[in-house]
Chains A and B, each alone.
Chain A
């Protein structure tokens, strides 16, 4: 029924345009830099029990795990961490063992764990969420002793005045983790104005539902002829080679 001639026409129709010049080199460079950032996961010390991950910190790659299951969990958290640092993952699935933390700290960490990828909250917000609005400072201390940073995203907690606050492994790393999440935004745009905004921008609210489009990255949106919103996106770029290079250095 389907003739050979038909097939060759189909083949010609499906033949896509050639990749832009320098495609392989660009992709290769990006892959290399993302891998370098991910390789830093190997240098994290991990402590795990049968129940889950109990500790994680930049170190020399030591593993504290008594059983087979614990060792498997430690391996898994490191793999997920590498993917996160490579920009391949926005959440963790590995179970945590926070049984050694005191109840106040536990409640702080539980709330911090609900902050979504790419978003930030204040110390005050956490204090209010656990019903102790006066305990802002104690929240900061509890987060500072977070046994499983990155997996419980205490780096997403900032001061209410917009200051960075603290970070047990240095503000430089905190800033870079925030940048990693910040630079892989969910972008919302309008196909009428051809402008894209970060999710949550005031201008985003005015986009009519039937004009709404979503992009995963700024480069992707630019390639489709969209420009960045002056209010929320001006001057920002999508995950770039220098960005991952710097992340690798900071780790």
Chain B
């Protein structure tokens, strides 16, 4: 409850912007994009492990958000609705890529400099988690949404969020310690 109250101002702003965008207000849509730019990029980048794919995902998600804005109903919180679309796009892209490449950990092909090494370790470890668990983990830890919000975004129960999260964290620690050895 506390978390919901904390986000109240932002939430109503999102809803207003979404309604305006649905009515064809391009400036409102642009404002919405700028508001969510960093947060969307963060999730997409960590979900997909690659800059170019993250940009594609954000682009596609925004296209869908714009298309479906008229269907947005204020009983949903704005950010919940936006995150749901983004995470669905990311999971979809991820599955398509896996089918296509047969590669679970594509990011390791892209090691650039030693400075990137740690980052790539995280991407590699993340790539080993199931897409749904990864989405939940990122929504909790990168976006800092509450369990309740994450549950609504992914359409699951709070208990599922907690178990997925615990599992994801355990797996992530194991993978990271393997990589660092």
Indicate if B174 sits at the interface (CB-CB under 8 A).
Answer: no
Q: Is B37 a contact of A20 with CB atoms below 8 Å?
A: no
Q: Is B122 a contact of A14 with CB atoms below 8 Å?
A: yes
Q: Is B66 a contact of A14 with CB atoms below 8 Å?
A: no
Q: Is B50 a contact of A224 with CB atoms below 8 Å?
A: yes
Known contacts A14-B122, A24-B37, A223-B52; is-contact A213 B106 (Cβ 8 Å): yes
Known contacts A19-B41, A23-B37, A24-B33; is-contact A217 B122 (Cβ 8 Å): no
Q: Is A16 a contact of B46 with CB atoms below 8 Å?
A: yes
**Chain A minimum-CB-distance residue to B37:** A24
**Chain A minimum-CB-distance residue to B122:** A13
Where chain B touches its partner, the secondary structure class is helix
Q: How close is A194's CB to chain B, nearest CB, in angstroms? A: 10
Q: Is B30 a contact of A28 with CB atoms below 8 Å?
A: yes
Q: Could you say which of A30-38, A117-125, A136-144 contacts chain B?
A: A30-38
Query: Which residue of A86, A191, A217 is within 8 Å of B56 (Cβ)?
Result: A217
**Chain A minimum-CB-distance residue to B142:** A14
B contact residues, total (Cβ < 8 Å): 42
Within 8 A of B (CB), among A216-247: 216-217, 219-225
Indicate if B119 sits at the interface (CB-CB under 8 A).
Answer: yes
Q: How close is A214's CB to chain B, nearest CB, in angstroms? A: 5
Query: Which residue of B34, B46, B101 is within 8 Å of A14 (Cβ)?
Result: B46
* A-B complex: 9 closest residue pairs judged by Cβ atoms: A220-B52, A223-B52, A19-B41, A24-B37, A16-B45, A16-B42, A31-B62, A224-B110, A191-B109
Could you tell me which A residues sit within 8 Å of B by CB distance? 2, 7, 10-11, 13-20, 23-24, 26-28, 30-32, 34-35, 86, 88, 186, 191, 213-214, 216-217, 219-225
